[in-house]
Structure 1
Amino acid sequence: MPKKKKVAILYGGRSVEHGVSVNSARNIFEFIDKKKFEPVPIGISTTGKWYLTDGVSKNVEKGQPLALLLDPAKPGFIILSSGDRFKVDIIFPVLHGTDGEDGSIQGMIKAMDLPMVGTSVLGSSMAMNKIVAKRLLKEAGLPVTNFMTFRYDQKDKISFNAIAKELGTPFMLKSASLGSSVGVSKVKTKNDFKNAVEEAFKYDDEMIAEEYISGREIECAVLGNYPPEASYPGEVVISKNYEFYTFDAKYVDPDAVRIDVPAKLPKAIAEKIRKASVKAFEALHCEDFSRIDLFLDKKGNIYINEINSIPGFTNSSMYPVMWKERGVSFPDLITRLLNLAQERYDRSKRIERGFQSGLKF
């Protein structure tokens, strides 16, 4: 019988999405095929400390403190209390938001020379920053909403009237590099504006103002490499009690949304969304899996809103639900992701790391 691969499930993190990460990781730990894989839960506290935990727990600090063994020949971890060392075969980052989805952790894992599920450094950093992502998507010929960008040092000069003239009202204000609708506000009037600016800059040094699209919230799951494939789109139908798809609507209020999978769409529109989602995935150099969030207006126009390079795996998360509708169970989806990561890692070994030259040093 083949030896089980040890899979480090990396969760928590120094992010406003820490709790969402815990819930996602808990599902992956539960549904991973334990006949093929041995899950090793590693939690990162809100202060950035790493712990080997007993299962996936919100009480990360109750685990055993860890240090990283940064040796590409024998990458792994050290349990600080005992000095014991252990290694894993593959890492599955389930870290949403800052320091987890923006390329930071991905770069460290790459330096450890371990296989890793999900998008690497370049794609993670580009997808996480809404400003960079929109510019690249636009360059790729994909439809995005009209937008304006601002830095924190421009804060006192940002004009409601100038934005309203360019984008119309209402418009959206967002922190440039966050997810789960944290740091996001819908601005209708000048009275809303100041607080919305403060909220956006509370979490980031950059802010993006976007045209508001009155339409349907559509999501599409992308899986695989060479080439990737798209699920059938799903729809998030938001309660009229909410102005937009807020954090509470996503994760707190069980009555806030209805999930329609598959979405009720004309075939031509659904195919248009699927093709645009794959193109967006490739344009931002995503790998293994991502969820593409889109708007569909009343005229049938689609707009790419953003790309989530580590989509949620909570009980209410669309990514696994959309693949389940296509016949891919939660355990099978996790196995496919782990296999994709291993295949990509093996493929990367063809790349030379040295160069023979006449340089003397």
Structure 2
Amino acid sequence: MSKIKLGIIYGGKSTEHEVSIRSASSVFDALRKDKYELELIYITKDGQWLLANDKKEVKIIDQTKGREILVSPASGLTVDNKVLEIDAVLPILHGTAGEDGTIQGLLELANIPFAGCSVRSSAVCMDKDMTKRLLQENGIETAAGIMVNYFEQDQVNYKDVETKLGLPMFIKPVNQGSSVGVSKVTNESEFYQALELAFNFDSKVMIEKGIDGREIEVSVLGDEELFVSVPGEIVSNTEFYSYDSKYLDDDGAVLNIPANLDDEVQKRIQDIAKKTFRTLDCEGMARVDVFLEQSGKIIVNEVNTLPGFTSISMYPKLLEVSGIPYADLLDQLVTLALKRKERENRLKTDLL
């Protein structure tokens, strides 16, 4: 049986560039080398695509040690004027220009199968405002929030927002991940500082009511048939589960897998995660994050369509505890990508 020619795309024009490299390194180590012929594709912070000459490890590639890749809707990926034969890719990218539908659209145009959600669901899930609207319309509880765009920021009044949402509140860029640009606000001076910070990362900002609840995460895998992991709990040792807590501070948080929940609550969380996945038209993979209030109410916080894949990331760890080892997870993601491309190839593109 011939090997599957698989590309790993990592890096990217994102604040999460370094996290992407760490995720891709873990993916590379876990992939079964007897099953895949791997190509390492690095996207610089400036957006240049480079093909690694050395396939022994995932690392930053400079122009002198990599060959530039061109992406074409007609021929796919080309290097040195030759087509780079790829059966599928794992886009191990986080944040903007990675999980927001842009790279998915580019791969779709180039007719290259890719793991994870489609262009549409990737874009919707990255946009916290659109996610909230769709979930609320389908009866799924989310935190109360106010969306402010760049042109309205001077019109935002702290007292009005405090009256509506109370304290504490959280201010976050609408189209960012990994808690980049997120602040917890407890007074007026923090409020305006947090707005300024968030607008450094996006032209739309979400102001949300603070939720007093346990932070629970669930991994979802599949297409027609969905597998939902056991829930895991994040117990933060800082003010909230920030970027530093996730990636830089070893003592920033404790991850309890599985979470200490009774069977009824666990099933409700899993059912809500599945409904959320379907409502947002997700496919392949997503991590659904919720708050569990003391009253038992479950509130969806966010949906991550390209979750972290580092050795300590919740998405693969939750699935591993649920009976799907890391290498098997990657095999399933590649299989799902190829299956979706088969379905799409059956669709008509003309009326003849």
TM superposition score category, shorter chain reference? over 0.9
From 256, 268, 271, give the equivalent of 1:272: 268
Query: Which residues of structure 2 form unaligned runs of 5+?
Result: none
- In structure 2, the partner of 1:359 is none
2:194 alignment partner in structure 1: 196
- What residue is the counterpart of 1:336 in the other structure? 332
Shift of 1:6: 1.0
SS at match of 1:169: coil
1:302 aligned onto 2:289: no
Q: Distance in 1 between matches of 2:140 and 2:46?
A: 38
| 2:87 match | 89
| Aligned equivalents of 1:319, 1:69: Cα separation in 2 | 30
1:157 Cα offset (Å): 1.1
CA-based RMSD:
1.2
Answer whether contact 1:173 1:207 (CA < 8 A) is retained.
yes
- 1:320 equivalent in structure 2: 316
Contact 2:50 2:61 in 1 (8 A): no
Q: Output the CA distance in 2 between the equivalents of 1:293 and 1:69.
A: 34
- Structure 1 residue 248 corresponds to structure 2 residue 250: no
Distance 2:236 2:64 in 1: 37
Query: Could you tell me the TM-score, scaled by structure 2's length?
Result: 0.96
Could you tell me how far 1:300 is from its partner in structure 2? 1.1
DSSP 3-state at the match of 2:117: coil
Which residue does 1:68 correspond to in 2? 70
The residue identity in structure 2 corresponding to 1:312 is G
Alignment of 1:195-274 (within 5 A): 195-239=193-237, 242-274=238-270
Q: What's 2:59 paired with?
A: 57
Mapping of residues 3-42 of structure 1, within 5 Å: 3-42=2-41
For residue 223 of structure 2, give the secondary structure of its aligned residue in structure 1: coil
Equivalent pair of 1:45/1:61 in contact (CA under 8 Å): no
- For residues 122 and 282 of structure 1, what CA distance do their matches in structure 2 show? 13
Change in CA separation of 1:60 and 1:312 when aligned onto 2, cut-off 3 Å: farther
Distance 1:31 1:131, change over 3 A: same
State the Cα distance separating 1:62 from its structure 2 match.
5.3
Q: Percent identity?
A: 37
Residues 172-197 of structure 1 deviation map (CA, whole Å, 9 limit, x = unaligned): 00100000000100000012011100
Per the TM alignment, residue 229 of structure 1 is displaced from its structure 2 partner at its CA by: 2.1
Q: What TM-score results when the alignment is normalised by the length of structure 1?
A: 0.94
**Which residue identity does 1:302 align to in structure 2?**
I
Deviations along 1:90-119, one digit per CA (max 9) or x if unpaired, are 011011010111111100100011111011
Matched residue SS, 1:324: helix
The 2-side partners of 1:268 and 1:183 are apart by: 35
Answer yes or no: is the 8 Å Cα contact 1:12–1:44 preserved in 2.
yes
The letter for the 2-side match of 1:78 is V
The match for 1:45 is: 44
- The aligned amino acid for 1:204 is D
Which residue does 2:141 correspond to in 1?
143
Once the 2 structures are TM-superposed, how far is the Cα of residue 67 of structure 1 from its aligned partner?
Answer: 2.9
The residue correspondences of 1:96-111 to structure 2 (distance < 5 A) are 96-111=94-109
Equivalent residue in structure 2 for 1:348, among 341, 344, 347: 344
| TM-superposition CA deviations, 1:32-75 (whole Å, max 9, x none) | 11111112110101110111123310345554132325254x42
Equivalent AA in structure 1 for residue 271 of structure 2: K
Cα contact 1:44–1:60 (8 A) shared by 2: no
Gaps of 5+ in 1: 357-361
Aligned to 2:220, the other structure's residue is in SS state strand
Contact 1:32 1:39 in 2 (8 A): no
Contact 1:89 1:114 in 2 (8 A): yes
